[in-house]
Amino acid sequence: MVKKLKIAYLSASDPRDKKVWSGTHFSIYNTLNKYSGEVISLGPYEPKLASLIGKILTGISQLILKKRYNYRHSHLLAKAYAKYFNKKLKEQNFDVIIAPAAVCELAYIKTSLPIVYISDATINLSLNYHKSLSGLLSLSEKETRKIERLAFDNCSKIIVSSDWALKSLINDYQLPTNKIKKLPFGANMALLPSPQEVKNKSTTDVLRLLFIGVYWESKGGYIAYNCLLELIKLGINAELTVCGCIPPVEFKHEKLKIIPFINKNSTEGMKQLYDVFMHHDVLILPTRFDCTPIVICEASAFAMPCFIANTGGVGGHLHESKNGYLIDYNDTGRGYANKIAKVFSDKETFNCLKITTREEFDKSLNWDKYGEELNNIIHTILPNG
Maximum alpha-carbon separation in the chain = 66
Measured CA to CA, the distance from residue 11 to residue 106 in angstroms comes to 9
Report the relative pairing of strands 256-259 and 115-119 from DSSP bridges. Answer: unpaired
How confident is the model over 191-205, as a mean pLDDT? 91
Cβ of 88: how many Cβ atoms within 10 Å?
16
pLDDT averaged over every residue in the chain: 95
Give the mean model confidence (pLDDT) for residues 25-31.
97
Q: What type of residue sits at position 384?
A: N
pLDDT in the model for residue 385: 60
Three-class DSSP category at 306? strand
Could you give the CA distance from residue 285 to residue 322 in angstroms, rounded to a whole number?
17
Predicted confidence at residue 202, as pLDDT, reads 81
Q: What is the mean pLDDT of residues 203-209?
A: 92
User: Packing angle between helix 294-301 and helix 267-278, nearest 10 degrees?
Assistant: 70
Average pLDDT of the residues in 3-14: 94
Write out pLDDT tens, residues 72-108: 999 999 999 999 999 999 999 999 999 999 999 999 9
Mean of the pLDDT values across residues 197-210? 91
Tens-digit pLDDT profile for residues 281-298: 999 999 999 999 999 999
Give the whole-angstrom CA distance, residue 278 versus residue 208: 11
Spatial CA neighbour of 98 closest among 54, 157, 56, 51 = 157
On the question of pLDDT at 47 being above 90, the answer is yes
Q: What is the pLDDT of residue 265?
A: 82
Q: What is the pLDDT of residue 352?
A: 96
The residues facing 241 across adjacent strands are: 210, 257
pLDDT, residue 248, reads 96
Express as a percent the part of the chain with pLDDT over 90.
Answer: 92
CA dihedral 184, 190, 194, 199 (to 10 degrees): -90
User: Which residue type occupies 133?
Assistant: L
187: phi > 0 → left, psi -120 to 50 → alpha, else beta; which? beta
d(CA 211, CA 256): 11
Strand partners, 264: none
Residue 1 has pLDDT above 60, yes or no: no
Count, residues in the chain: 385
Q: What is the pTM of this model?
A: 0.94
Please determine, for residue 118, whether its predicted confidence score (pLDDT) is greater than 70.
yes
Q: Which residues pair with 9 in a beta bridge?
A: 41, 98
pLDDT at position 146, please? 97
Domains of the chain (ranges, CATH numbers):
5-186+366-381 (3.40.50.2000), 195-364 (3.40.50.2000)
Q: Is 174 helix (H, G, I), strand (E, B) or coil?
A: coil
Phi, psi dihedrals of residue 40, rounded to the nearest 5°: -110, 120
Q: What residues does 207 pair with on adjacent strands? A: 238
pLDDT at 2 over 90: no
User: Which residue from 321, 333, 238 is spatially nearest to 280, judged by alpha carbons?
Assistant: 238
